Amino acid sequence: MSDIAPTETATTAPAYELADRYCREEGPVFLTGIQALVRLPMLQRQRDLAAGHDTAGYVTGYRGSPPGGPAPPARPGPRLDGRAGELRLRVDHREARVAERTRCVNRLRWPLHELDPSWDPPARSLCRYKSLDASAARLRGVDGPVARIAGEIVAHARDLTVRERALEREIRVLVAERAPTLMALAGVGALTANG
């Protein structure tokens, strides 16, 4: 039998509200994994302010990325043979290159900002050769590890763009062979026609 009466527990334990999972500063907090991922940047911001740093948070991911855990195992899909299989393989590989380039571009924004807070390339501009080449040229004149790493990321993003565009050209040829009438429609491109 417990020595603590039920009324003592109710009066000594602080009340717990749902908002406490994000706002409570001390004591136990009950969270799911996703809620913990939401709370972490908030806590980091508080720690930065307490240390006298005025920082900004940046949380990123990619389409289909699992928040807070590993992706479920992939299930084998239907098997495509011949030209259909070749086309599907190229489309999937191109999508993986685009996702990887997106991750590169997201990683690149911090070093660019670190080097020059006014350096903020417009959204989607870092998947174009012109913007990547301009960034690489600007980085060549800067010394230090941040500039070196940013330069490596720019080079990798450019290489991924070259490979992604080559795959897109291959896909265009295969789709034109398989569905020429579909490709003739206004507004339909190789990637749309393949879907």
Does pLDDT of 63 surpass 70?
no
Mean pLDDT across the chain? 79
Q: 147 near 108, Cβ under 8 Å?
A: no
Q: How many residues can be counted in the chain?
A: 195
CA distances from 109 to 120, 141, 163 (A): 7, 18, 22
Average pLDDT over residues 119-137: 90
Does pLDDT of 155 surpass 90?
yes
For 70-84, how does the pLDDT look when each residue is reduced to its tens digit (9 = 90+)?
A: 666 666 666 667 777
Is the model's pTM score more than 0.95? no
pLDDT value at position 91? 86
Q: Which is more confidently placed, 33 or 91? A: 91
User: What tokens does 195 get?
Assistant: 């879907």
Q: Which is more confidently placed, 23 or 101? A: 101
The span from the first CA to the last CA of the chain, in angstroms, equals 67
Among 43, 68, 66, residue whose Cα is nearest residue 55: 43
- Residue 193 pLDDT grade (very low, low, confident, very high; cuts 50, 70, 90): very low
Q: 114 near 146, Cβ under 8 Å?
A: yes
Does pLDDT of 190 surpass 70?
no
